[in-house]
Amino acid sequence: MDETIIIGMSGGVDSAVAAAELIDKGYTVEGIFMKNWDESDSEFCTATEDHRDALQVCDILRIPLRTIDLSDEYWKKVFQLFLDECRSGRTPNPDILCNKEIKFRAFLDHALELGAVSIATGHYAHIDKTKGLFQLYRGADPGKDQSYFLCALNQDQLSKSIFPIGNWKKAKVRKKAYELGFKNHDKKDSTGICFIGERNYQQFLKRFLPIQSGQIITDEGKVIGEHDGLMYYTYGQRQGLGIGGGYGKKNAPWYVTDKDLDQNTLIVGQGHDHPNLYHRFLTTSQAHWISGSEPIKEVLTAKIRYRTKDAVCRLIEKNKNSLIVEFDEPQFAITPGQSIVFYDKEVCLGGAVIETRGHSIN
């Protein structure tokens, strides 16, 4: 094929095998390695190692590898917003914004300027065109499906994107990488904040946000501890609260049930079944539909975070960018700042940012 596809080479096994798959299909393939974080941050940044792995793959595949520095775009369009959300006591999901603004905007624009017809990544998702619309489908491997993180993409972005391994299982990807001689065939999957990687969340945030300690109280108002700052905790959190025994009426772990931003207090309750951990309603902002228009169906399924199972829900109110969503069953730890992503069976319809949660509409 006389079509150039530029693939984002992260240094991981998924993008490596995705590149190999494109070559097998006859495309002219070039690689780009994106630098999106200050490499002087040697304590956390793995860019040098990742670039070495990407270069080894490209050498085997005999394709060029360029490097582009998008760290300024990442800081302005993703990380500063991430910090603003954390500063306000919310729990943001920067990976969704990173895909929207960096991988499928800044990287896409750069690739098109270089003459590519499309970009490719190693995401576990699938794109199909139906009745003139590009639809985003879940990846074939349910344990690796990444459609949740792609919910903010639009028709133009999908029309110029390819996910070569979207219908592969992870085991097949690793087997293929081994057969091709890629050193990263058994490399650990990356987790953590997009482009920044794995690290102690609280220690990392403390480098950018000052500690604002306050009281930890029970839902009955009893003071039982002290927190370092509401931004370091999330709804439903159990670990890392520093609450010893002897405070509760039963032998059950403590969970974060709420935050009082005005009083700077962290509210906790005992037991995974605590009623303040479960809500049937939520409101949103920044609603985005991949098709460009709201879904006709009112009964859908949705995820309120990446690792949760789909839950049946209804869009009981739709006002431009805001929604009111009702679930058939109360959901555990609905978290402001996180994204709710909607599905119609295997099709990802879009998503929105969670603003509030409640036991009723009012």
Retrieve residue 293's tokens. 């228009």
Strands 339-344 and 214-218, by their bridges, are unpaired
Q: Which stretch of DSSP H or E encloses residue 32?
A: strand 28-35
DSSP label of 40: T
Q: Which stretch of DSSP H or E encloses residue 207?
A: none
Tell me which of 45, 58, 86, 98 is the catalytic residue: 98
Q: Is 86 a catalytic residue?
A: no
Cα distance between residue 281 and residue 277, in whole Å: 12
Nearest to 268 by CA among 256, 276, 277, 279: 256
Question: Strand ranges (DSSP E) for 186-321?
Answer: 214-218, 223-227, 254-260, 265-270, 278-289, 299-303, 311-319
Q: Is 58 a catalytic residue?
A: no
- Which stretches of the chain are DSSP H helices? 13-24, 47-61, 71-74, 80-87, 94-98, 107-113, 155-159, 170-180, 201-205
Q: What is the dihedral of CA 16, 17, 21, 23, to 10 degrees?
A: 30
Nearest to 351 by CA among 297, 305, 298: 305
Retrieve residue 20's tokens. 């190999």
Q: Which stretch of DSSP H or E encloses residue 327?
A: strand 322-332
CB 280 within 8 A of CB 327: yes
Phi, psi of 250 (to 5 degrees): -140, 165
Tell me which of 58, 86, 151, 194 is the catalytic residue: 194
- Whole-angstrom distance between the N-terminal and C-terminal Cα of the chain? 58
Phi-psi region of 11 (alpha: psi -120 to 50; beta: other; left: phi over 0): left
The Cα-based distances of 277 to 232, 303, 305, 314, 328 in angstroms read 18, 16, 15, 20, 16
Q: What residues act catalytically?
A: 98, 194
